[in-house]
Chains A and B, each alone.
Chain A
């Protein structure tokens, strides 16, 4: 695909998290497309996935009715209740079932209604899905399994509708963890995840379901996994993030630019296995690194990025790696804004890293 790609310029607008420019960097063929929000892009990807592979199935809590975020609207009507169906409220069962379905050579697309509800299924993901191929000496695998789940803050979600559990899964060799930042990305990465021959946990930024709107090509396309993307070029400091947090980081970069600081922003997209080379190349250029995510800072994936880059770029670094993340508290109900790694916190961190 990559050779024939032409750049597409799009406008992205987000009301609340005013994300201005994720344009011009994505490698997607020019084709006609429609402006749509993130849940519609997911919905379109799922239509394509089910259309192009008759052995693909979609299931989860309330997905038959379109799901709580409307991502699965129209799929049961279009593909029938044999392929798109509701499950009982039993996350462990949903994932285990999906592993079995995938082990027979099918594409099992399971939805966990909120990432906060994924923990009952943790055992199935960690002990069954991730190790199936390895422990059977490659006789069996569940590569057709993709687990979709909305993650992250939404402004008022409270303890159990806001968490970002990605780092738990990044500690598990054998699965991939993918998080898109925008509608166009979501469609391409979801299709790539569904068709990837490894089990994938695909976290969707629920804050952006309706907020992020951009032009999304109509056709069937995939974006490569484990390839990070530089979405803003800069020379003074490298910022690495993923998902909804990128829009906050983008704002901080824009503000920093007003103060004469040139930031390079990287969307990691796939957390494991992650694209160390792109980040390393950028840090070799800028000499500074900041990582930001919503999950609590301690043991977050930012720690891994920090460690890996320090190993690779120790002599090139001009300041300690900065992490601007969620606080080490449970996700709060009131005072969510204090918890969040906001634009101002990032801006402060950029400045103190530059002035170190």
Chain B
């Protein structure tokens, strides 16, 4: 069995139960302690280190952080479900890879780093973009190829970018973004601004040769690059153990230390990313293997049920779901009531529906955009066809 089941062991020490707080947005009429009080929560499972001393299982958080995790992940989930419908309605063309199930990786990572740190990922990028501060409108507009999209509608699902918060995309070829990420990290190190790059890839990409070339350079030059292997256990339709002699991806850097993290536990991800950033600034690269799971198939053309059982999927949903885990923590610590969380989810659903409706109204890019951005100024790009006059008219 490729997938190790990690059981949710939500531990709530007695002392924490006393810490009751809530978000003012949820129930403004109840005035409890602010959302900033510190809670200490243990991760679902211990970290496993490779050539490094793993961080503590005890993660500090606050009620407002837990609520923001809940909201952000629910928004990502809802957004992906909306993208699913838009794709099926043929409003999204191209290829589309959904992130539902993996949300804890994005929100946990964002909680540990700043927007000056860089992230680069592959094509499962919608939620990473949202996590970096992207908006729903930009997301849906890009997905549908509209001009208000984050890449002006020219990228589509696989090519989201957000320069002002260090999100370098959005790459279509398996593993190709990893060397790029090391280049980003070199620039950061050179500028001595104490920032790092999180280079994300999947368990499928972990077998690409260029990953090891990049890893060697990163280690050789002590680059502040953190290689984040989002191990969702299937490289397209192939289970990890069918494709990798060692699916212990955190160990595969050999001379590069690694850490295995429950990627379904946002707090564990946060702890690991905090640890990784400190490590990388001091010692160079580190591999974080996030043990996670995608509920959807690899892409929209993969039903996702031919190479794994429905039981496996529903088992993960029941036992390890990242949103449910946070919901349980919020309820256990009496941060908000179940009804409040339901109402948040309802608001999110509305927000997503409205964004979809708005994005649908946004026009497509100008046809002339087909020729821009090929070079700096679209130099010399002309449309051939035998009747050049006609096509030139389009260009003007």
Interface residues of A (CB under 8 A from B): 61-62, 65, 68, 86-90, 92-93, 116-117, 119-120, 155-161, 290, 297, 322-325, 327-330, 332-335, 338-339, 341, 345-346, 348-350, 352-353
A332→B159 CA distance, assembly (Å): 12
Q: Which residue of A lies closest to B147 (CB)?
A: A334
**Known interface pairs A61-B238, A88-B243; A333-B93 also in contact (CB < 8 Å):** yes
B370 in contact with A329 (CB, 8 Å) = yes
Contacts A88-B244, A116-B172 aside, 15 further interface pairs with beta carbons under 8 A come to A65-B306, A65-B307, A68-B236, A88-B207, A88-B238, A89-B204, A155-B93, A157-B94, A328-B383, A329-B381, A332-B154, A332-B370, A333-B145, A333-B155, A335-B367
A333→B143 CA distance, assembly (Å): 10
A71→B374 CA distance, assembly (Å): 35
Q: Name the A residues within 8 Å of B306 (CB-CB).
A: 65
A-B contact pairs, 17 of them (CB 8 A): A61-B236, A86-B238, A86-B243, A88-B244, A89-B174, A89-B175, A89-B204, A89-B205, A89-B208, A89-B243, A120-B173, A120-B208, A159-B158, A159-B159, A327-B384, A329-B374, A341-B385
B235 in contact with A88 (CB, 8 Å) = yes
Q: Which of the residues B172, B301, B364, B386 comes within 8 Å of A352, measured between beta carbons?
A: B386
Q: Name the B residues within 8 Å of A90 (CB-CB).
A: 207-209
Query: Can you list, as one digit per residue, whether each of B81-96 has a CB less than 8 Å from chain A (1) or not (0)?
Result: 0000000000001110
Using a CB-CB cutoff of 8 Å, which residues 223-282 of chain B contact chain A?
Answer: 235-238, 242-244
A348 in contact with B390 (CB, 8 Å) = yes
Closest Cβ of chain A to B239, distance in Å, is 10
Interface size class of B (residues with CB under 8 A): 35 or more
Q: Name the A residues within 8 Å of B174 (CB-CB).
A: 89, 117
* B210 at interface by CB-CB < 8 Å: yes
Closest Cβ of chain A to B271, distance in Å, is 30
B370 in contact with A335 (CB, 8 Å) = yes
- 8 interchain residue pairs of minimum CB distance: A349-B386, A158-B94, A156-B93, A88-B207, A160-B172, A334-B145, A88-B243, A333-B156
Closest Cβ of chain B to A333, distance in Å, is 4
* B47 at interface by CB-CB < 8 Å: no
* B55 at interface by CB-CB < 8 Å: no
A62 in contact with B387 (CB, 8 Å) = no
A160 in contact with B383 (CB, 8 Å) = no
**Known interface pairs A86-B243, A328-B384, A352-B387; A334-B95 also in contact (CB < 8 Å):** no
Q: Which of the residues A89, A120, A324, A330 comes within 8 Å of B374, measured between beta carbons?
A: A330
Q: Which residue of B lies closest to A352 (CB)?
A: B386
Q: Name the A residues within 8 Å of B153 (CB-CB).
A: 333-334
Inter-chain contact count A-B, CB under 8 Å? 135
A348→B242 CA distance, assembly (Å): 52
* B365 at interface by CB-CB < 8 Å: yes
Q: Name the B residues within 8 Å of A86 (CB-CB).
A: 238, 242-243
* B60 at interface by CB-CB < 8 Å: no
* B382 at interface by CB-CB < 8 Å: yes
Q: Name the A residues within 8 Å of B93 (CB-CB).
A: 155-156, 158, 333-334
Using a CB-CB cutoff of 8 Å, which residues 179-226 of chain B contact chain A?
Answer: 204-205, 207-210
Q: Name the B residues within 8 Å of A65 (CB-CB).
A: 237, 306-307
A65→B174 CA distance, assembly (Å): 20
A34→B290 CA distance, assembly (Å): 50
A158 in contact with B158 (CB, 8 Å) = yes
A353→B388 CA distance, assembly (Å): 12
Q: Name the B residues within 8 Å of A61 (CB-CB).
A: 236, 238
B208 in contact with A329 (CB, 8 Å) = no
Q: Which of the residues B156, B370, B386 comes within 8 Å of A290, measured between beta carbons?
A: B386
B238 in contact with A62 (CB, 8 Å) = yes
Q: Name the B residues within 8 Å of A62 (CB-CB).
A: 236-238
Q: Name the B residues within 8 Å of A297 (CB-CB).
A: 384
A346→B385 CA distance, assembly (Å): 8
Residue from the set A89, A338, A346, A352 with the largest chain B CB neighbour count within 10 Å: A89
Closest Cβ of chain A to B47, distance in Å, is 26
B387 in contact with A349 (CB, 8 Å) = yes
Using a CB-CB cutoff of 8 Å, which residues 336-386 of chain B contact chain A?
Answer: 364-365, 367, 369-371, 374, 381-386
**Known interface pairs A88-B235, A89-B204; A117-B173 also in contact (CB < 8 Å):** yes
A336→B205 CA distance, assembly (Å): 29
Q: Which of the residues A116, A161, A327 comes within 8 Å of B383, measured between beta carbons?
A: A327
Q: Which residue of B lies closest to A322 (CB)?
A: B386
Using a CB-CB cutoff of 8 Å, which residues 139-164 of chain B contact chain A?
Answer: 145, 153-159
Q: Name the A residues within 8 Å of B236 (CB-CB).
A: 61-62, 68, 89
B173 in contact with A119 (CB, 8 Å) = yes
A349 in contact with B385 (CB, 8 Å) = yes
Q: Name the B residues within 8 Å of A88 (CB-CB).
A: 204, 207, 235, 238, 243-244
Closest Cβ of chain A to B332, distance in Å, is 40
Q: Which residue of A lies closest to B156 (CB)?
A: A333
Q: Name the A residues within 8 Å of B95 (CB-CB).
A: 157-158, 160-161
A200→B382 CA distance, assembly (Å): 33
A61→B302 CA distance, assembly (Å): 14
Q: Which residue of A lies closest to B174 (CB)?
A: A89
Q: Name the B residues within 8 Å of A156 (CB-CB).
A: 93-94
Q: Name the A residues within 8 Å of B209 (CB-CB).
A: 90, 92-93, 120
Q: Name the B residues within 8 Å of A158 (CB-CB).
A: 93-95, 156-158
A349→B386 CA distance, assembly (Å): 4
**Known interface pairs A68-B301, A324-B385, A339-B370; A89-B207 also in contact (CB < 8 Å):** yes
Q: Which residue of A lies closest to B394 (CB)?
A: A338
**Known interface pairs A120-B173, A333-B145, A334-B364; A160-B384 also in contact (CB < 8 Å):** no
Q: Which residue of B lies closest to A155 (CB)?
A: B93
Q: Name the A residues within 8 Å of B237 (CB-CB).
A: 62, 65
Q: Which of the residues A89, A161, A328, A353 comes within 8 Å of B386, measured between beta carbons?
A: A353
Closest Cβ of chain B to A337, distance in Å, is 10
Closest Cβ of chain A to B129, distance in Å, is 16
A323→B364 CA distance, assembly (Å): 29
Query: Can you list, as one digit per residue, whether each of B162-174 has a CB less than 8 Å from chain A (1) or not (0)?
Result: 0000000000111
